[in-house]
Amino acid sequence: MDISVSNLTKIYDNQRAIDEISFEVKKGEIVGFLGPNGAGKTTTMKILTCFMLPTFGDVKIGEYSIYENPLEIKRAIGYLPENNPLYSEMNVIDYLNFSAAISGLDEEKLRIIIPEIICNTGLNDEKHKNIFELSKGYKQRVGLAQALIHDPEILILDEPTTGLDPNQIVEIRKLIRELGKHKTVVISSHILSEVEATCDRILIINKGKIVADGTAEMLKCKSHGESIIKLKLLDIQNQDTAYQILRETITNVEFDKTSDSFIISTRDADLVKRNIFNVCANNHWVISELTTVETKLEDIFRELTL
């Protein structure tokens, strides 16, 4: 199922939490929703999951509209809300049974699916415990299990890895990647590396507006349009003469004393690398390091949201 959001706006007491945002998510895509705190990520997710209505604008999920078919949409969505709220006085099995039944699974399916999901999320040893007795990581697994239990076509996960240890984070990312092969997944996060590691596409949202939309690579290209090359040379007699010679063929060269290397910024990295090679070959210099320094997603994020 595709998600199509058009002109979505939500106003809380004169404050625009989200401001006319529009985007589309295709089936089989993993989209990361990125933004600083209070940017409107959670509000958008609450509207997508039909928890609340927008002030205006529309969301279409597949054929269904949030205004006319909220129940169908809710059935098609698995949702892990922010902070992972759970009925903590219930035990894991009872809770999963309840979640599955209320999502519309019948008794027969329940009997098959519950043991399966318990195994898949690694809850087997904890299944008889009450939820409040579980550690945060296990609670998060229960949260994921309840979102996945009815095999939804769309998964919406609000900060799925908060509070997990590094091993669990890796596991969850792997799981999300796996699920993303045949489901539409929307995750939100303010951790950039996480979004970069799991998502096909990134939407950066700030103060209620979408400020960037694209793959991590695309965003990196867009932000500067140029890459930075770091060059270290051996066998040069004098830095200044080498600098002069380099400047004859390559523009935008600078010498960085701290790293003892030349920094070249360019729009066409390949051409510059060729030129560097030729210059070095002519002067019998040895290239000891030639690296493209990537623009980090962090920088783009700061650039767009500050």
Partner 1 sequence: MRQIFLISKRELKSFFDSLTAYILIVVFLAFSGFFTWLYGTDIFFIGQASLQPFFAVSYWSIFFFIPSLTMKMIAEEKRNGTLELILTKPITDWQFIFGKFFACLFLILITLAFTLPYYFSVWFLGPVDHGAVFAAYLGTILMSMSLIGIGLFASSVTNNQIVAFLISIFIGVFFVIIFEMLSGNHFGFIGYLLDFLSINSHYNSISRGVIDSRDIIYFFVLTFIGLYLSKINLSKRNL
Q: Which residues bind partner 1 (CB under 8 A)?
A: 46, 49-53, 70-72, 74-75, 77, 79, 81-83, 85-90, 94, 98-99, 101-104, 146
Q: Which is nearer to partner 1, 47 or 212 (CB)?
A: 47
| Minimum distance of partner 1 from residue 154's CB (angstroms) | 12
Q: Which helix (H) or strand (E) holds 228?
A: strand 227-234
Q: Which is nearer to partner 1, 38 or 104 (CB)?
A: 104
Query: Helix H segments across the chain?
Result: 41-48, 70-76, 92-102, 107-120, 136-148, 166-179, 192-198, 216-224, 239-249, 269-283, 297-305
Bridging pattern class, strands 201-206 and 209-214: antiparallel
What 8-state DSSP symbol labels residue 258?
Answer: T
| Minimum distance of partner 1 from residue 82's CB (angstroms) | 8
Q: What are phi and psi of 15, to 5 degrees?
A: -105, 130
Q: Which is nearer to partner 1, 22 or 88 (CB)?
A: 88
233 strand-pairing partners? 287
Q: Which is nearer to partner 1, 98 or 277 (CB)?
A: 98
Contact 10, 47 (CB under 8 A): yes
CA distances for 240 relative to 74, 198, 254, 256, 289, angstroms: 67, 45, 11, 12, 19
| Minimum distance of partner 1 from residue 102's CB (angstroms) | 5
| Minimum distance of partner 1 from residue 133's CB (angstroms) | 13
How far apart, in whole angstroms, are the C-alpha atoms of residue 61 and residue 49?
A: 10
Contact 55, 11 (CB under 8 A): yes
| Minimum distance of partner 1 from residue 202's CB (angstroms) | 24
Q: Which is nearer to partner 1, 77 or 176 (CB)?
A: 77
| Minimum distance of partner 1 from residue 112's CB (angstroms) | 19
Q: Which is nearer to partner 1, 150 or 201 (CB)?
A: 150
